Structure 1
């Protein structure tokens, strides 16, 4: 099937390279240029039918008043490529096979115990076909929801693509979540099928998982079938009618079973055909529901649709991870053509991409499943934790598969810094690595420098990406071959952007635009903190909150009302070069005597001290100043040797030197770990609630809920 691209419906009179506006970003030229740009980028995909309308955006409008006289607004409506039809799985798998690349590796899988598998694109096509037939045999049709509660294994990718292929809406759930968190998602989506495993390999142990699935299905839900992937049990193990806990080894894992509802994955697919004819769906057909981390209240199920999401995902993956063809600019520097609509085949063939996120996180949806596969590169998926069986496991994976792109989270980088305080041993070969990236929270400059020095040899580009579950794909980032990574002497000293800026998202990608505003919508002064706002959206923006469109309005669009600007919820500032720094969630701002302090900035100062591996700061009540700074720190071995008084004095003096006396913590408390979501975000509000001995809010999305008990014990000991 060939790609068919209709003429753009909004023609701009200005070129993307208008000399009067030298930026290559079409969003900064005009709305027409922006829409034309995304219409052109859509030619990256195969379309069965062309679209009739490139973009439609019904901004919120005042429709009345509430009881207090405040305006009420209509819910925004967003659509891209309406009328166009495509199949997401065809674009990610079949078309590469049809182009003669069936033998190219799609997936390198490594399990925590050391088992390994390789899937070519032809292999993946056959497995997705079998899974598509299996889901259809279970009665799953377009629009049905399938919750996928699996670890990072090939079946997770295969089932995800199978859902996309038949038009089912998938919702991936981190395999380490509790039964309570899973139950919420099963019930909120109204899922027909739940896919899980018998057990999981986690930190060197086998953990039973099927019991969580059974508990999640015990309430009021629409589940008709539970599909079980055999990962840790042995064939022939007893299947029990009632749940059992306490697995000890693979041979002893007993799997609870509900006859008639539960079905083994291998039984379901063993006779399924290996060829499947895809159906093509309207671009605005829902593709998946991704739940926000729940750091501030009940998780929201964000809905992403097929066409717009895949267009922006395909482009941004190619842009950020250096797949675009190179061109020479006026300075003679070699750079990718940021506006190209095609990839460089040699770059695609030589790329081995590894996004270290769990597949249930939106980063992995975009830059570990759909982005790499739609662009036809090889990717690594790794089941285990980075320190199992030892802290250098990731380095082994990089070396074994020749990873070229290493895209990870600041939390993981900081943990590696703690594990290797004197640097990574020279026994590992990182010569394959040609690009680094970070995602999740804003990266501390010290972690940026460490990763680029230790794995990137102080040579490779570092793309510090800023985006969210809501935006679906990247909004702002430096790009490969950016002038900041040019060899010394290539550009004149003092030229904006020519020096590396650790922890800086630099600027919006082509096709979108970002502003930093105050609460009234006015630009803030350079260097001052404001609110990050996406004022020109791209096609991958979430369309709504599942089952609650009013929450979509109130959470993201209402503050700027009829202007139609998306409120990201992050604090930000611009520097003198108009480059963008993200300062963390606005919920995490600490207001000390009227001074607004960013938690990220204080934490970044703390982790540069040799006694500290990781830091989480949060506002706590203070009768005089309103807020005071509480710093919870994870210590290096050297830090664990000093007294609490010495630790407090040293770190307060360090923060005073780095930021100023207004930012120094009132209290410094050493803790074993910090509570984090699976995306690596520190759940700072829980630190404050533990400190004040208050009831904890939502914690269903934590990856390490056990950390709360340890922190509670530390806080209790301080109060006694």
Structure 2
């Protein structure tokens, strides 16, 4: 970013305090902050007490070998027991844990007692194949109940799972299997995507050709006869899930493992070269995921119906579908399919049917709903919703306002959460019964968490200043390293501010006049226009605040005059006319008015879609290729690679300069 800090350009003054009624019943109270500040370790010890431990810890935190933390030293627990068995033992066996909805419309309600049986049988099945504590199991499954059973079964017997997103290519799966030396792979025959059955097992077979560590492949029958052709099969290696698991005993005694026993590896997506396996352990991770789920979402066990729309292939699915929610005795919706199958009201239909009260989704999906139009959710009863959440990237203020007004009936608090695969759990977020929320701001670090915005010299910037977002104190759910590469772990996350001992993972942020934190995206995405360092996020927010724009992505393209010129790609809302020269000029002027003339885009292109990864992140690298007339780079991680062809063909239109 150079020696200058990030220019803080966009202002947002609207605030929304919680209602008196909400605040009165909220799990989190304002005094949590003071309590955590007074004694951080004691605060985290109290959060850990919400779990069931076989052996109490002797020390809350050991940070003597920084940056390798140990939390709840000497403590022992079983993660799966905490997520399942203890709720059954407490008399809640008949409570529904999972309302599962398949894409074709099939459904399944799974109680905690049934979940305990399924996880126990899966644990016995893995043990029968010789799996033991410390072994690695790769799981490539779509959003079906067996994915959750398999993860919890691994946790129950002390095996590590490495979940690979169901849409990843054979090459990506193979790299992850080899890096972790996975012993077993669990997959399905096929998956439903937009109404069609697509093969999964065939891709897994391609990935595993010549794989040396894999002994068995367990296959869940999901699509069956809907899939064209036979499922490829290797007799000595492959096993059907139903034949292996269903006949096992439902009796299984979980073993207690050390708080620092590895729970899972999760590979970060979009990396080049060798994949980066983020390692998370047991006690601290479960403590913080359960604490944040309880307080950030104001979850009431046995009363709320919760729905996180993420995929278990990402950290959000691990922390806020499986571990945090189940530790808190959630009743949740798990949905297999896409939001527009068989129609664009599918999510609202599910919310109406199950009376979902807490809904956690990504800004990219919110902007897609905006594009489809407010008339669609208006057809459904969404009155059960009482808390809304946002995750994945900064949410622009206009999308935030649309979410609140159209989905939250102008009353449900929105928790805009910042965290990462590496942090394991939410780090910065409003507390819904405490915080006066601001559209687009994650606001402040949660009680027990410490975050700062600093400049190049590691000095904290003042109110109104921008810079690097760092974490300056260890936290329970932090990554414990990169699998098999401690040096890479130090270099990637701790070298930028090694002297100060700050964790830095690449995000820019700013403080507003109140000292609240605004995320500005990756510092790699900062543009340098005539010496001003401008965040892509702020320009995108200004564009989306225009009534015709549903979604925008902005990149800096080399410019002989200004160093970099701002190039914007916009998707218009469903009711907007096509973007002619006048409309594009109006958008450029709108940005200049919202932010200032320095931020006026050099060029705006109206596009039908944006290039996104399967987790919904916009691939600005590819848009930069288009903006600079280069050959478009690798598109294998895109959810839909044809998007780039659509964008490239429109390159010459929409150029407007003055």
TM-score over 0.5 (shorter chain)? yes
CA contact (8 A) 2:199 2:227 kept: no
User: Equivalent residues in 2 for 1:609-624 (5 A)?
Assistant: 609-624=546-561
Among 474, 499, 509, the alignment partner of 1:562 is 499
Using the TM superposition, give the Cα deviation of residue 700 of structure 1 relative to its aligned residue in structure 2, in angstroms. Answer: 4.9
Where does the alignment leave 5 or more consecutive residues of structure 2 unmatched?
Answer: 1-29
Aligned pair 1:708/2:644, yes or no? yes
In 2, Cα distance between equivalents of 1:706 and 1:295: 21
In the alignment, does 2:385 pair up with 1:440?
Answer: no
| Matches of 2:489 and 2:142, distance apart in 1 | 29
- 1:259 Cα shift? 1.5
Q: What is the CA–CA distance in structure 2 between the aligned matches of 1:448 and 1:298, rounded to whole Å? A: 37
3-state SS of the aligned residue for 2:461?
A: coil
Change (3 A) 1:558 1:389: same
Structure 1 residue 392 and structure 2 residue 401: aligned? no
Q: 1:385 to 1:49 in 2, by over 3 A?
A: same
Q: Is 1:453 equivalent to 2:405 in the alignment?
A: yes
Contact 2:198 2:227 in 1 (8 A): no
Quick one: distance in 1 between partners of 2:392 and 2:282?
24
1:277 correspondence with 2:283: no
The corresponding residue for 2:16 is none
Does the CA contact (< 8 Å) of 1:84 and 1:282 recur in 2?
yes
**Equivalent residue for 1:6?**
none
* Alpha-carbon distance in 2 for matches of 1:23, 1:381: 31
Q: Which residue does the alignment assign to 1:64? A: none
User: What is the deviation of 1:630?
Assistant: 1.4
Distance in 2 (CA, whole Å) between partners of 1:653 and 1:717 is: 18
Cα distance in 1 for residues equivalent to 2:518 and 2:173: 35
**Cα shift readout 1:470-511 (whole Å, capped 9, x = no counterpart):** 110011111121252xxxxxxxxxxxxxxx410111111111
1:290-340 deviation per Cα after TM superposition (whole angstroms, max 9, x unaligned): 1223267754211000111001111111011114xxxxxxxxxxxxxxxxx
Deviations 1:431-479 (A, max 9, x none): 1111001000000111111111112111111111111111100111111
Q: Provide the rounded CA distance (Å) in 1 between the counterparts of 2:263 and 2:654.
A: 49
Report the secondary structure of 1:634's partner residue.
strand
Question: Contact 1:80 / 1:539 at 8 angstroms: preserved in 2?
Answer: yes
Q: Does residue 1:81 correspond to 2:72, yes or no?
A: yes
Query: Partner residue of 1:168?
Result: 159
Structure-2 residue corresponding to 1:572: 509
Deviation at residue 380 of structure 1 after TM alignment: 0.6
1:508-565 Cα distance to aligned partner (Å, 9 max, x none): 1111111110011011132221111111221000010112211211111111113221
Report if the CA contact (8 A) 2:219-2:238 is conserved: yes
What does residue range 370-385 of structure 1 map to in structure 2 within 5 Å? Answer: 370-385=323-338
Change (3 A) 1:92 1:701: farther
Deviation per CA, 1:596-641: give whole Å up to 9, x if none. 1111111111112233221111111112222111111222345552
* 1:95 matched to 2:86: yes
User: 1:699 and 1:369, CA in 2 relative to 1: closer, same or farther beyond 3 A?
Assistant: farther
Q: Conserved in 2, the CA contact under 8 Å of 1:28 and 1:513?
A: no
The structure 2 residue matched to 1:314, chosen from 283, 287, 290, is 290
1:464 to 405, 416, 434: 416
Aligned to 2:201: 210
Please name the residue that 1:335 is paired with: none
8 Å Cα contact 2:605-2:654 kept in structure 1 = no
* CA separation of 1:443 and 1:298: change in aligned 2, threshold 3 A: farther
Determine helix, strand or coil for the equivalent of 2:192.
Answer: strand
User: CA deviation digits over 1:63-108, x for unaligned, max 9?
Assistant: xxxxxxxxxxxxx211101211111000000000000100011000
| Alignment of structure 1 residues 125-524 onto 2, 5 Å | 125-234=116-225, 250=226, 252-294=228-270, 299-323=275-299, 347-420=300-373, 422-424=374-376, 426-484=378-436, 500-524=437-461
Counterpart mapping for 1:15-34 below 5 A: 24-26=33-35, 28-29=37-38, 33-34=39-40
1:514 to 1:321, Cα distance in 2 relative to 1, 3 A: same
Match of 2:23 in 1: none
| 1:542 alignment counterpart | 479
Secondary structure (helix, strand or coil) at the match of 1:627 reads strand
Partners of 2:32 and 2:284 lie apart in 1 by 24
Contact 1:295 1:698 in 2 (8 A): no
2:522 is aligned to 585
Return the match for 1:686 from 622, 627, 632.
Answer: 622
Q: Is the 8 A contact 2:280 2:479 kept in 1?
A: yes
Q: CA RMSD in A?
A: 2.0
Match in the other structure for 1:48 = 54
| Greater Cα offset, 695-704 or 512-521 | 695-704
Q: CA deviation at 1:191?
A: 0.9
TM-score (norm 2): 0.91
The whole-number CA distance in structure 1 between the counterparts of 2:578 and 2:58 is 67
1:698 to partner: Cα distance: 5.9
| 1:220/1:626 CA distance change after superposition, 3 Å | farther
Is residue 2:42 matched to residue 1:36?
A: yes
Preserved CA contact (<8 Å) 1:295 1:683: no
CA distance in 1 between partners of 2:172 and 2:643 (Å): 17
Contact persistence 2:604–2:654 (CA under 8 A): no
In 2, are the aligned partners of 1:180 and 1:700 still within 8 Å (CA)?
no
The answer to which of 223-232 and 681-690 deviates more is: 681-690
Match of residue 493 from structure 1: none
Contact 1:689 1:696 in 2 (8 A): yes
Q: 1:644-670 CA deviation, whole Å, 9 max, x = no partner?
A: x33431221111111111112112122
Q: CA deviation at 1:370?
A: 0.7
> How many angstroms apart in 2 are the aligned matches of 1:413 and 1:37?
35
Which secondary structure does the structure 1 equivalent of 2:446 belong to? coil
The aligned counterpart of 1:245 is none
Q: How many Å separate the matches in 2 of 1:458 and 1:393?
A: 22
Paired residue secondary structure (1:641): coil
Mapped to 2, the partners of 1:299 and 1:707 lie a distance apart of 25
Rounded to whole Å, the distance in 2 between the matches of 1:470 and 1:233 is: 37
Q: Give the drift of 1:716.
A: 8.2
Going from structure 1 to structure 2, the CA distance change for 1:121 and 1:457 (only over 3 Å counts) comes to same
- Alpha-carbon separation, structure 1, partners of 2:394 and 2:160: 31
Aligned-pair distance for 1:219?
A: 4.3
In 1, Cα distance between equivalents of 2:227 and 2:272:
41
- Distance in 1 of aligned mates of 2:271 and 2:591: 26
| Alignment match, 1:67 | none
Using a 3 Å threshold, how does the CA distance of structure 1 residues 587 and 167 change in structure 2: closer, same or farther?
A: same
Mapped to 1, the partners of 2:346 and 2:434 lie a distance apart of 31
Is the 8 Å Cα contact of residues 606 and 654 (structure 2) preserved in structure 1?
no
Q: Secondary structure at the match of 2:379?
A: coil
2:274, 2:524 → 1: CA distance?
15
Contact (CA 8 Å) 1:233, 1:253: kept in 2 or not?
no
8 Å contact 1:294–1:300 — kept in the other structure?
no
User: C-alpha deviations, 1:125-153, integer Å up to 9, x for none?
Assistant: 00001100111122211111111111111
Instruction: Measure the CA separation in 2 of the matches of 1:434 and 1:652.
Output: 37
Structure 1 residues 435 and 41: CA distance shift in structure 2, 3 A:
same
